[in-house]
Amino acid sequence: MASHRLPKQPSRARVTVLTTAAAAAVALSANAANAAPSPKPNKDEVKSRVDRLYEEAEKATEEYDGAKEKQGKLQQEISTIQDDVARSQAELNELRDSIGLAAASQYRTGSIDPSVQLFLSSDPNDYLDRASTLDQLSAQQVQALKKVQAKQRELAQQRTEATEKLKDLAATRTELGQKKKEVQGKLAAAQKLLNSLTTREKTALTAEENRASRESERSVLGGNTGTASGRAAAAYAAAQGKLGTPYVYGASGPTSFDCSGLTSWAYAQAGVTIPRTSEAQATIGTRISSASDLKVGDLVFFFNDLHHVGLYAGNGQILHAPRTGAVVRYESMDTIGGPFMFGVRV
């Protein structure tokens, strides 16, 4: 006969726990529904966040520039090594052909040297390592085989070097892609914040920047600061000719620039080659520790990691490519957003 069992009833403790959990869930839902939305950031808050994002983007830009420069150098080095490999291979083939011709001549006369037979059927490196066989060779044959051996070793070394350079190039290209993605992400986040502003707020921000730039320009024109050297004057004049040119990350002129792109381009116009990135530019020339000792045309560096550089314009102002969305302009050293670290006189 079938047994009919009643279903087990939940315990009082279990019921209490479930009831409490349900009540908490309802309360949380109600609170979430009734919670006021986060207040929209005002113009000054947005500017502060955007400035921070632009600073982070510029830091990533300098790292991107460094990776890009390294990629170019590696490509040149690889091209040179590949040319060397091709030349060495041709020389090796010529050496082998000359020995082969000698062997063919001996074969036709029926007097082929057993040492030449051995060379034609094995690696001359192994053959020459057997000192006991050297007495079977003429001095001319020994010299020919040693040339082959040396050329083979040189060729192997060149190919190994090329392989390592290609690995380094692949890693650099990966780094380049990552830095590019990082820069684009920072810029997109900054643009999203700017898009949250009203038209009136955007206009006010632009007006503030333009006013500050005009004040800096007046300060520069009214200053009486000496120029470091003839080439510094030429570099500074070249940069002045690019006032109003847009900032574009990774650009080095002549129609757009990032910060170190502008300074390297300007000095190139003066006939002076300086490194591409701000960090590398900080290692050249004569360091100027005090801002009061700066002269027009000196390189000036900001932030602890030196990710921003400009040209000193006199009277506490710099001429620089500031950030995305801005143009080459004058600006007070006090408003860069990071501390002045030092100057460099090229």
Report the half-sphere exposure of 91 (CA within 13 A, side-chain side): 16
Query: What span, in angstroms and rounded, lies between the C-alpha atoms of 316 and 310?
Result: 12
Among candidates 307, 230, 308, 242, which has minimal Cα distance to 272? 230
Task: Give the residues across from 312 on adjacent strands.
Answer: 318
Listed in sequence order, the residues at least 6 apart from 194 whose beta carbon sits closer than 8 Å to its beta carbon are 46, 50, 202, 325
- Note if 320 is an active site residue: yes
The Cα 37–Cα 162 span in angstroms is: 59
Type of residue numbered 175: E
In the chain, the amino acid numbered 26 is V
**332 DSSP β-pair partners:** 317
Rg of the chain in Å (alpha carbons): 36
Question: Catalytic one among 78, 148, 187, 259?
Answer: 259
Question: Of 68, 308, 329, 345, which is the active-site residue?
Answer: 308
Among candidate residues 320, 323, 329, 345, the one labeled active-site is 320
Strand partners, 11: none
Cα angle for residues 128, 131, 137 (degrees, 5° grid): 65
Cα separation, 106 vs 103, in Å, equals 5
Environment class of 250 (CB within 10 Å of its CB; exposed 0-12, middle 13-18, buried 19+): middle
Cα separation, 93 vs 151, whole angstroms? 10
Distances (CA, A) of 24 to 3, 11, 18, 20, 21: 41, 20, 10, 6, 5
CA terminus-to-terminus distance, the chain: 105
Catalytic residues: 259, 308, 320
